[in-house]
A and B are shown apart, each in its own frame.
Chain A
Amino acid sequence: MDDFLNLKKIQEKLASNKWNLYEYQKEFLETQSLKKFRQILITSEIGTGKTITAFLPFFSGKLEKKKRKVIYISPLKSINTTLKERLTELSSFLGISCRIEKRTSDISYTIKKKQLFHIPDVLLTTPESLALMIANPYAKTLLEDTDYLIIDELNEFINSKRGDQLALAISRINAINSKFEIFGISGTTSNKAYLLDWLSINGKTKIIDNKFKKKIKIKVVCSKNIPTSGHSSYCSLKLIKKIISNKRSIIFVNTRAQAEILFKNLFLLFTDNHKIGLHHGSLSKEHRQKTEEQFVNEKISTIISTSSLELGIDFKNIDQVINIGTPKSINRLIQRTGRSHHFFSGVPTSYLIPTNKFEFLECIASKKLAEERKFDFIESKNGSKDVLCQHLLLLACNAGLNPIKTFQEVKKSYAYSKLNYEEFLEIINFIKDGGYILNNYKKWNKLNIDEYGILKINSLKNRIKTLMNIGTIIDNSNLKIKLKNGKVLGFVDESFIMSIKCGDVFTFSGLNLICNSISSEEISVDIVKKKSQKTPIYWGGNLPLNQNISDEILNSFVDKKNYPLEIINFICKQTKVSSIPKKDEVLIENFPYSNGQYLCIFTFMGKQTNQTLSELIISFLKTKYNILTSDYSINEYSIALFVNKNANFKLNFLDSFFAKKKINIDFLKTSIAKKIFKEVSLITGLIDKKNTRKQNFVSSDIIFDTLFKYQPDHILLKITEEEIKRFFSEMTQIDFLFKKKIILNKIKKPSPFSETLIYQKEKHYINAHNPDNLFDFFNN
């Protein structure tokens, strides 16, 4: 009853300030006050104040002068400044004094230390920073005293390794804190049940679903000279200029390199005082903050950004959002669109500008699905065990871990509910001394066991090393770009060293920089006027396309009459030189290229099916016809295999493949195995993210081969196999594909569709496993 009175109080108080709560906000407050559920999920569309909603119980308690502590978790690397401001504003509104502080990698060590002893009322943090608190003995009080755990943008990372990391941290808090409640906040998705299960650590989770649908406007515009392939925005510059002139806009691009290039080009195009800013995750913290501030103060009117500004940012007075290329997911498109007119009555508007002709069709499909609110399906995922390795090490860094108790603790989390004890012990043995059949490393054991069976890290050196390696995002961009005066401009991918030499000019942070000296840690530069020739390319810049978009593209071929002339011509040309696949067909194109030939297969069945199919076809061609594939690329709708030029493809021998019924995949022998193993090695701490002793470097490919040869049932390979499986589809999907009709078109050169595919950057090499095949390929 007491809480119910508070509820009235906060409503009155807010109403007296001309702020009436929405129905869903009232429903949430009421449900929460009844204390029947320890977890509540709030789902709502953009621009309806759902983040603030989750803070209402906190404010309500504060009004009663009750002690209330909140930990707020956001998937963003740098939590935006605006949330803190809005919370501060609201608390002064309500006449409450409270301390709101951030705790992220951008915050200094001294402040972080202070927070543990002088605990703020609201702590804004990230999954990584929360994980580090699990290892810190002094953070115990803070975690024990937390009343509310708020998780924002849950749908964005629930089924990723960052989500697993958070799930494990929550399982730890749950073990030491018996009162805390969790409020999950999510955009609308097409499968809420998974989100609810994920949150349910103490009984069932209640959902508060705001069904209100906001109107959004999405326009697809394309320039007359749009190219057939590539992802350059160059041809659309004039179009972009026209759209952004005299308006306030955010331009979203999909990769950091695209952001740099577009910034440079637009900068040159505007001679008047239309100011543009640049924002992406590799720029220095100072640069990012400065850009955000300038945009808020309206000193700049256009900001070019990667996904770094996508979530939760609340800039006022944004007229429109511009997407260069599709955002690849319907939720992301709605999210980005929602950045404009980000208040209740505005109509969010966004433009989709394709960078190539095929992408135009992707844009049309995305627009249609977004307008129909066909939200992304969040694929559910079991907790990754490499992340569990990290978590166990964190526990060992603190008060230590008791295998049996910790096992039960971890299993309470939905993501890890299927864990079995034998495997759990194998993981513990792995972190202790490697857990190999040759018990060689006893003397370098990392963990000590005390008389009660508690495992603890045994040295400061190992503790520091563990904490340094925390995190599940594998990012190679840790090469500093430094000016002569010592100012760090940001970071680029380590591989950039290979493509640059002293005297080269490249673009970074919107500047033309000349390279003075290169070391393994930094590139020392000067700002020059000279034109640049290069832009750093970053690892992992490609966003996966959501399945429903790829389905919709098939439809988009049909109603082409409203498309611009360039696109109609593009589709007509494809029809002329090859054909357009129908829904019950699989189109295969075959043409010579470079020192081999391409086999392009258009399935429109999603990345997982294509991954599975390519793996199967490659081994089929090799074993049955001795046809070698040297590399392949896949995307959501198609596969491109690069095979040796002597092979002569006929419809009937591919038929014999499609007639096949039972097929098994040996996951550890697939072409992506080594790539996945590398990620697992980095996350489990088998190899360090930052290697400081170069002479002790061993490539993860060699480690994989050695382990596979001598101990194929080792836990690391089991973990790797589980992770590989995620990239493959169920066999039923493949069966479905086998029922389709095969169309084989032999052509002289790449068709318009194939061209888009074969110029894709991300390629897989097949022969990483056996270089001899590759030698045969060269000799062919």
Chain B
Amino acid sequence: MYIKKKINNFTVIFNPSGAIFILELSILVISDLHIGKSHSIAKYGNFLPPFDIDDTIGKIKSNIDHYNPKKIISLGDSFHESDTLNIISENHIKNLNELFKNREVYLIDGNHDAKLKCKEKLNAIFKESLILNNFNFTHIKNSQSIKDLFEFSGHFHPKVTITSNKIKYKFKCFILGENFCILPSFGTYTGGLNINSDVLKKILPKKKKVIAIGKNKLLEI
């Protein structure tokens, strides 16, 4: 199940995996993969199941198989630590490059991976931010909107709470404003921040749409 929206005269498709596809430009946008988080945690002696990288890569792959995008943009925090590319197995890097083959891949800097080491291992272009056809792609939402630009960002891992029969259910979500969209975190081991938390309340306008993510379904609130 998908939700389609017209933004800047382009068709933007919201996918329940947490990705966005801009149809006419053939761009797949994802955010906050946090690849290597399990390793970073293992360093402190907590051995979480190390399948998160495969799972995250698998989710990217199914999006690529579905949309066959010309361009892929990851909106920062693609890797959990600056050392990640040295720590994760060569196989994982190979798998990533396989996905990136014959496509233009832009990895935007996030707070976790701005100082990423061994960038040359990946067939990707590293950017602080990127402007394409009136769209601005960046990690953290700018506090002031830039004229005529619609902005895609990540960083906050937004989550929404829905109450039913006095029980609070939490879902990852997209936040859609007049001229911005914050994507949910895409990585398997990523948590979330409630859209009603003080941090997000401060930066979000009153008027906004929220699209909650299920497993294969979306719910617009």
Contact = CB atoms under 8 A, between A and B. Distances in A.
B169 A696 contact: no
Interface in B20-72: 37-52, 54-55
A159 to B, nearest CB: 29
B89 A774 contact: no
Contact of A710 (B37, B45, B55, B164): B55
A441 B51 contact: no
A706 B43 CA distance: 20
Nearest to A763: B167
A438 B51 contact: yes
B47 A778 contact: no
Interface stretch (A60-68, A94-102, A143-151, A682-690): A682-690
B126 interface: no
B214 A774 contact: yes
A446 interface: yes
A709 B51 CA distance: 9
B215 interface: yes
Nearest to A717: B49
A465 B188 CA distance: 26
B217 A772 contact: yes
Interface string B85-124: 0000100000000000000000000000000000000000
Contact of A703 (B49, B171, B212, B214): B49
Interface in B127-145: none
Contacts of A4: none
Contacts of A763: 165-167
B167 A765 contact: yes
B51 A706 contact: yes
A596 interface: yes
Interface in A390-446: 430, 433-436, 438, 440-441, 444, 446
Contact of A686 (B40, B47, B217): B47
Contacts of A778: 162, 164, 219
Contacts of B39: 440-441
Contacts of B164: 594-595, 630-631, 774, 777-778
- Grouping DSSP codes into helix (H, G, I), strand (E, B) and loop, the A interface class, with mixed when no group exceeds half, is mixed
Contacts of A440: 38-39, 42, 50, 89
Interface string B199-221: 00000000000001111111100
B127 to A, nearest CB: 23
Interface in A763-780: 763, 765, 767, 770-772, 774-779
A434 B51 contact: no
Interface residues of B, number: 37
A15 interface: no
Contact of B191 (A444, A446, A461, A698): A698
Contact of A699 (B43, B47, B166, B191): B191
A443 B212 CA distance: 39
A663 interface: no
Contacts of A527: none
B49 A706 contact: yes
Nearest to B112: A695
A702 B188 contact: yes
B192 to A, nearest CB: 9
A534 interface: no
B44 A436 contact: no
A687 B41 CA distance: 10
Contacts of A630: 164-165, 167
A486 to B, nearest CB: 26
Given A685-B46, A703-B49, A710-B51, A594 B188 contact: no
A622 to B, nearest CB: 15
A733 interface: no
Contacts of A714: 49
Contacts of A595: 164-165
Contacts of A506: none
A631 B167 contact: yes
Which 7 pairs from chain A and chain B are nearest by CB? A434-B47, A771-B214, A710-B51, A440-B50, A707-B49, A772-B214, A772-B217
Given A446-B45, A698-B37, 4 more contacts: A434-B42, A438-B54, A771-B213, A774-B164
28 contacts: A434-B47, A436-B51, A438-B50, A438-B54, A444-B42, A461-B45, A593-B165, A630-B165, A631-B167, A685-B45, A686-B47, A687-B46, A688-B46, A698-B48, A698-B189, A706-B55, A707-B51, A710-B55, A765-B167, A771-B171, A771-B213, A771-B215, A771-B217, A772-B217, A775-B214, A775-B219, A776-B217, A779-B219
